[in-house]
Amino acid sequence: MKIYIIEDNLVKVEKIKSFLNDEMPTSSKVSFYYSFNSGLKAIKEAPPDLILLDMTLPTFDRRPNVREGRSRPLGGYDIMRKMKLFNINSKVIVITQLESFGEGSEKVGFEELTDQCWEEFPDFFLGSVYFDQSGSAWTANLRHILRSSV
């Protein structure tokens, strides 16, 4: 199984990687992307079987002395919209540590955004997991989605 993790928080990446090492077959190939652009490019070039996707992403990968572009509060959602546009049906699980996204009148909560994703991306959206690095409930939620969907 080919899995992409699209996430800019390195602590979160390590925790997800550790989870996958325990839960997924050893034959799984996991690749990491750290921004909207690098993640979308990889998906378009070689769609994986599964994507573990952060919702808020920088536009570009972070590098020393280089701007990462603007933060995209709904970067994960935008990636799923592009996937739908290009008819890419890799399965997606959103893993986020934020309870709301966007600002002002465009602000949307975790549950509302999850419902919106179910409605707009029924062919490939598997669910959302609220990530808390100090707890382990997220692992049980992710395990449940994986076992019932993949």
> Could you write out the three-class secondary structure of 26-55?
CCCEEEEECCHHHHHHHHHHCCCCEEEECC
pLDDT at 62: 67
CB 30 within 8 A of CB 22: no
2-149 CATH fold: Rossmann fold (3.40.50)
pTM: 0.91
CB 35 within 8 A of CB 58: yes
Encoded tokens for 13: 């990446």
Q: In the chain, where are the structural domains located?
A: 2-149
Question: What is the Cα–Cα distance from 136 to 139, expressed in whole angstroms?
Answer: 5
pLDDT of 122-148, one tens digit each? 999 999 999 998 888 999 999 999 999
Question: What is the Cα–Cα distance from 109 to 147, expressed in whole angstroms?
Answer: 26
pLDDT of 38-86, one tens digit each? 999 999 999 999 999 999 999 887 665 555 567 788 899 999 999 999 9
